[in-house]
Structure 1
Amino acid sequence: MSEPLFEAKGIEVTYGKASGLLGRGWKGVRVLHGVDISIRRGETIGIVGESGSGKTTLGRALLKLVPISGGSIRFDGQDITNMPAAAMRPLRRRMQMIFQDPMASLNPRHSIRQILTEPLFLHGLAKTREEAERQVRAILDRVSLLPVVLDRAPHELSGGQRQRVGIARAVLMKPDFVLADEIVSGLDVSTQAQVLNLLKALSQEMGLAMAFISHDLSVIRAVCDRVYVMRFGKVVEEGPCETVFDAPQSSYTRLLLDAIPLPEIDPDWLTRPAPALEPA
């Protein structure tokens, strides 16, 4: 079995201020309590739990978007726990995030062309405008968007189109890992299936490791290999999706499943021909 791409042990996150000599103590509210998590190359994991369970904080802690107050994080065998921002910069391209609200993550003053091409230059993935344009048009085709969107602003696109722009921006970086935080919660069912099917296909093509954060258990069961169930900042159960959902060991997992009943899974949900994508 391959070594984990991401491996976090004993992760703690405390919202507050560092205190004491050299800021080694923390005062505040602890929201993650010693969480262990591992993600292998090509694996898709789910992180589920009620609102306030700490699932989004865990995802952001893995990417070092929030500081941790305890524990360690390794990425591709490298300890990044206390790695300074300058040393982290080359790794940022390899770990991407797709946000729940694409409008909040897309600069409203920039065209889609600027949003997609500028990161290519920033990370040295394109040297000329022509090269960047070729890469962008190729990924637009892959996410089923027409080139006409390049000259539009984010507010001129539908929610599903904006989410596909967010996916395109992440994939253009040729990452090893993608964190998807509630990315289909605001979309209708048919658009959800299109977005999830697209991510599954891209993951298989590129060998991506992915983490899905979601409160929708049917989404997690449909697209993930393993699942972590969180409550009050702790992992209460972890295992293959089929095992956890069919025979949960934790009383909290059973309560969660009872509160949000899983529909009977249609095995063809993500592979059935979808309705035509809305025109760009």
Structure 2
Amino acid sequence: MSVSDNLLSGKGIEVTYGAKPHLFGPPGHGIKVLHGVDIDIGRGETVGIVGESGSGKTTLGRALLRLVDVTAGAIHFDGKDITRLPATDIRPLRRRMQMIFQDPMASLNPRHTIRRILVEPLLLHRLASDRKDAERRVAKILERVTLPQACLDRNPHELSGGQRQRIGIARAALLKPDFVLADEIVSGLDVSTQAQVLNLLKELSRDLGLSMAFISHDLSVIRAVCDRVYVLRHGRVEEEGDCERVFTAPASAYTRMLLDAIPLPEIDPKWLGRESLMEEAPAA
């Protein structure tokens, strides 16, 4: 893949937590989490990042979004070096680089209604001409993520876990991003709801031309939604390649160990059809 085909690239990424800078000489010792990671995410491509707990996969995702600072290496987004851009220069890019969190309650203000949570970002980023236009866009995206309009006047705690995750997806999609990082977003959901959320993401990625990085410890999820996969071990890339090739003929003994140790239940194909995306009634 040529550089021009990549929307987001990281070269030699290192992240060290807790290093204290010295007035003279190199910084003090901290905990190095990433050790020279290279990763490329093509335009319109979905890339999986998988590994055991503590492998550095979440840190890698946050580094790509510049939510944590790298101590070495370089990150390029749409051809622009963003490695050490100051916050004021990063801010205009935030709309184009969205994150969907594992726990949607961590990113949804519990005191705000779903209407306010979805409408305000549109007005803030000037993606709607006025509030009426914003409300129209919100109503449309709610249909897209198969949630009833009644959800708009609810607070996050009044919705189910699957519904809250769809609100997180809707909020990201409303901002028309180029790149979305999804961090363990289906862990904790039942199998049928997992499949509905995954199917929704695949549809949005295809229809909006999104590039995505999908972080998960669940290998069956990675295999279901990703084009390529990076296997991380102790902050290093153990293996990378086409998803189907890595899962059927892994080159690394570590990847084979992961495949042997973690069951790969097949998602019932009926859940991957559009007909599975049934509306859930808001929780009472």
TM-score of the aligned structures, taking structure 2 as reference length: 0.94
State the Cα deviation string for residues 143-202 of structure 1 (Å, max 9, x = none).
Answer: 011111111100000101100000000000100000000000111111111100000000
Q: 1:18, CA displacement in angstroms? A: 4.3
Please state whether the residue corresponding to 2:61 is helix, strand or coil: helix
Q: Which residue of 1 aligns with 2:59?
A: 57
Q: 2:192 aligns with which of 185, 190, 193?
A: 190
Please state whether the residue corresponding to 2:240 is helix, strand or coil: strand
Q: What amino acid does structure 2 have at the position aligned with 1:85?
A: A
Q: Which residue of 2 aligns with 1:237?
A: 239
- Measured in 2, the distance between the counterparts of 1:236 and 1:126 equals 44
- Measured in 2, the distance between the counterparts of 1:32 and 1:249 equals 22
Q: Which residue of 1 aligns with 2:124?
A: 122
Please state whether the residue corresponding to 1:17 is helix, strand or coil: coil
Q: 1:265, CA displacement in angstroms? A: 6.6
Please state whether the residue corresponding to 2:29 is helix, strand or coil: strand
Q: 1:269, CA displacement in angstroms? A: 4.9
Please state whether the residue corresponding to 2:239 is helix, strand or coil: strand
Asked whether 1:33 is paired with 2:31, we answer: no
Asked whether 1:215 is paired with 2:217, we answer: yes
Q: 1:271, CA displacement in angstroms? A: 2.4
Q: 1:25, CA displacement in angstroms? A: 3.0
Q: 1:82 aligns with which of 81, 84, 103?
A: 84
Q: Which residue of 2 aligns with 1:135?
A: 137
**Partners of 1:42 and 1:204 within 8 A in 2:** yes
- Measured in 1, the distance between the counterparts of 2:24 and 2:245 equals 45
- Measured in 1, the distance between the counterparts of 2:24 and 2:114 equals 44
- TM alignment of 1:1-280, pairs within 5 A: 2-21=4-23, 25=27, 27-264=29-266, 269-271=271-273, 273-274=275-276, 276-280=278-282
- Measured in 1, the distance between the counterparts of 2:173 and 2:274 equals 24
Please state whether the residue corresponding to 1:5 is helix, strand or coil: strand
- Measured in 1, the distance between the counterparts of 2:144 and 2:210 equals 16
Please state whether the residue corresponding to 1:25 is helix, strand or coil: coil
State the Cα deviation string for residues 183-231 of structure 1 (Å, max 9, x = none).
Answer: 0011111111110000000000010000110011001001100000001
The 1:84–1:23 alpha-carbon spacing in structure 2 relative to 1, beyond 3 Å, is: farther
Q: 1:270, CA displacement in angstroms? A: 1.5
TM-score of the aligned structures, taking structure 1 as reference length: 0.95
- Measured in 2, the distance between the counterparts of 1:23 and 1:184 equals 44
The 1:235–1:268 alpha-carbon spacing in structure 2 relative to 1, beyond 3 Å, is: farther
**Partners of 2:15 and 2:70 within 8 A in 1:** yes
Q: What amino acid does structure 1 have at the position aligned with 2:43?
A: R
State the Cα deviation string for residues 104-155 of structure 1 (Å, max 9, x = none).
Answer: 1100011101111111122111231101101111111110111111111000
The 1:22–1:106 alpha-carbon spacing in structure 2 relative to 1, beyond 3 Å, is: farther
The 1:269–1:111 alpha-carbon spacing in structure 2 relative to 1, beyond 3 Å, is: closer
The 1:97–1:24 alpha-carbon spacing in structure 2 relative to 1, beyond 3 Å, is: farther
- Measured in 1, the distance between the counterparts of 2:278 and 2:77 equals 39
Alignment length, in residue pairs? 280
- Measured in 2, the distance between the counterparts of 1:42 and 1:3 equals 9
Report the aligned-residue RMSD. 1.7
- Measured in 2, the distance between the counterparts of 1:105 and 1:199 equals 18
The 1:126–1:24 alpha-carbon spacing in structure 2 relative to 1, beyond 3 Å, is: farther
Gaps of 5+ in 2: none
Q: What amino acid does structure 2 have at the position aligned with 1:173?
A: L
State the Cα deviation string for residues 230-280 of structure 1 (Å, max 9, x = none).
Answer: 010011000001100000011100110110032357666522742733223
